[in-house]
């Protein structure tokens, strides 16, 4: 079973099972926090929000991949890297 199918099945099951939903939510919170900590250490502002969007984007990419509608890996990588660029004094909007 592919990772994308497992993700879909887990989310569907969580929509019917409060206990599973809470466990998945807690795991998402843990992963988001770990990513936010790394982003903050590398100078990315709004690290919590950036981590949440990054995790959601990765979830979406896995879902699309499971449908065979995956995006070009190189283009996807470049877009995700722009999300987590450290802040600089010039050219960065806040």
> Each residue's pLDDT tens digit in the chain (94 positions)?
677 788 889 999 999 999 999 999 999 999 999 999 999 999 888 999 999 999 999 888 888 877 777 677 788 888 888 878 876 544 444 4
Any idea where the domains of the chain sit in the sequence?
A: 3-83
Number of H helices, E strands in the chain: 4, 0
Cα angle: 29, vertex 35, 28; to 5 degrees: 20
């Amino acid at each position: 079973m592919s990772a994308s199918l497992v993700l879909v099945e887990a989310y569907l099951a969580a929509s019917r099972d409060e206990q599973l939903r809470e466990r998945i939510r807690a795991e998402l919170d843990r992963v988001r926090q770990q990513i936010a900590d790394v982003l903050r250490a590398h100078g990315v502002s709004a690290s919590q929000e950036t981590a949440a969007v990054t995790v959601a984007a990765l979830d979406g990419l896995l879902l699309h991949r499971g449908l065979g509608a995956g995006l070009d890996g190189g283009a996807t990588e470049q877009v995700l890297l722009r999300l987590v660029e450290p802040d600089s004094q010039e050219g960065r909007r806040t």
